[in-house]
Amino acid sequence: MVKLLENTFRAVNIGLVNEIAQMCGRLDIDVWEVIEAAKTKPFGFMPFYPGPGLGGHCIPIDPFYLSWKARQSGFECRFIELAGQVNSSMPEYVVERVASALNARKKPVNGSRVHLFGMAYKKDVGDVRESPALDILELLKRRGATVSYSDPFVPSLDNDGHGPSHDLRHVEPRDTIGKVDCYVICTDHSQFEWKAIVESGTPIVDTRNALRGFESASIVPLTGAAIAPQLV
């Protein structure tokens, strides 16, 4: 029960900040700036950060196990279930950001080439269990996009029992420049070097705030203003 509480605490707080992120998207506010400012409060605030969704073997699963167990005793965990719904909605939210970025370049998702950075569920590991990047990949493919990825920790996405097989292989980031219509940063591995990607001018949907410090009209943050429409 202690372990379930700890993981549920994180899942609920991540759900809260993910909902705030989606709200900030509507209000055209940079959620990362909001969090950084809130962190200046000397007490009473613990920073959690939004992202493309939850992954791993514990945090996405344990709260639902706890809710299921409680339901057996006639107790409904409404708070936990709601946080789960918010977190589960993030991959679709990211795909909508991709669609907006492509639309600004007068391109539909259908037929576009979208490249994902990072398939593992968190930074600098090779674990893809419950990774939101897999959901983003699947949603993009359903919309007709041609999807590729780079992840030095995940050389292939063959069926390993943790999700559907996509028969894809890791592509070196430098080999994608000028060959894709949109990038998505799903996992910000330390090995990734962003300078050439940013300078390529290709739209980049940054779900991890990995490009903080870079200035480019092609960067599409998780929240806030997307890139302006390109005049052709």
Catalytic residues: 58
Please answer whether residues 204 and 186 qualify as being in contact, where contact means their C-beta atoms are separated by less than 8 angstroms.
no
Q: Where are the beta strands (DSSP E) in the chain?
A: 113-117, 146-150, 182-185, 204-206, 219-221
Please answer whether residues 155 and 172 qualify as being in contact, where contact means their C-beta atoms are separated by less than 8 angstroms.
no
Structure tokens at 48: 């959690």
Q: What is the DSSP letter of 105?
A: T
Q: Give the C-alpha separation, 8 to 195, whole Å.
A: 37
Q: H/E/C letters for each residue in 3-67?
A: HHHHHHHHHHHHHHHHHHHHHHHHHCCCHHHHHHHHCCCCCCCCCCCCCCCCCCCCCCCHHHHHH
Strand-pairing partners, residue 174, are: none
The CB density around residue 209, as the number of other CB atoms within 10 Å, is 19
Q: Give the C-alpha separation, 133 to 82, whole Å.
A: 21
Q: Give the C-alpha separation, 173 to 141, whole Å.
A: 20
